[in-house]
Amino acid sequence: MRGSRKALLILLGVAVALFPSPAYAMHISESILPGPWAGLWFAVSLPFVLWGLRDIQQRSREKPYTKALVGLVGAAVFIVSCMPIPVPWLGTCSHPCGTGLAAILIGPWATVVVASIALLLQALFLAHGGLSTLGANICSMGVAGAFIGYGVFLVARRVGASFFVAAFLAGLLSDWGTYATTSFELASALCGDNSPWQMFLTILVAFAPTQIPLGVAEGAVGAMACLFIHSRRPELLGNLMEGKRA
């Protein structure tokens, strides 16, 4: 556990050094969402975070290495989601998320926790996202990203997809699902008298030129990472190799 904390601090330092002055904010920035909407997304995300903490505690009693693995995966999610690609017409950035791969390795509930920690650190130290919008960012990257990736992986395996294809689809759809959720959050809160559906499509289309290739790349990298882990430490993947619920 001490080693995973040290690794996280080192990776945080690297990220601060690499991205000292971002040209565009990542995630949903501070004060973008009106107070009631920000509060709503906090209320939605909180049960997932609390259950994720409970899940980690229970699994740690059975497998002592769980916390160390969660810490390492959390460090990876933090770094991966710190790689911005500017979207000038939105004044924000696209970026990979890493939550699809994380959900395959540590499960969706624990992934919500590590995504929450990564988002909090990014808001505090890198000006990516905000504290008032933390709940909304957790819902999109943590909750939607984790559960979409995990569900897609299990379904793909059960219908006979290869491990590589299942992991690729998990990474791809987890990434796209994160940005679809972010678009929905923004459209719901900022549409005013306009049609929320129209604004949702507008935001989604604005993200598409960067997020479509990013999703493909994240799916490919996640699939290769899963194959590598399976070749070295197959026990970390457990029943997921057979498409069964972990």
Q: What residue segments make up the domains of the chain, in order of their start?
A: 2-14+31-242
Q: What is the DSSP code string of 197-221?
A: HHHHHHHHHHHHHHHHHHHHHHHHH
Helices (H), 66-162: 66-80, 99-106, 108-125, 134-137, 145-158
Prediction pTM value: 0.82
The pLDDT value recorded for residue 169 is 96
Tokens of 204: 């989604």
Per-residue pLDDT of the chain (246 residues; tens, 9 = 90+): 455 455 444 444 444 444 433 434 557 888 888 989 999 999 999 999 999 999 999 999 988 888 888 998 999 899 888 877 766 555 456 778 889 999 999 999 999 999 999 999 988 988 788 899 999 999 999 999 999 999 999 999 999 998 899 999 999 999 999 989 998 998 888 877 778 888 899 888 887 888 888 889 999 998 998 888 878 877 776 545 444 444
Nearest to 137 by CA among 125, 126, 156, 122: 122
Nearest to 135 by CA among 43, 200, 53: 43
CA neighbours closer than 13 Å in the CB half-sphere of residue 141: 29
Q: How far apart are CA 151 and CA 246, in angstroms?
A: 12
CA neighbours closer than 13 Å in the CB half-sphere of residue 135: 18
> What CATH class does 2-14+31-242 carry?
mainly alpha
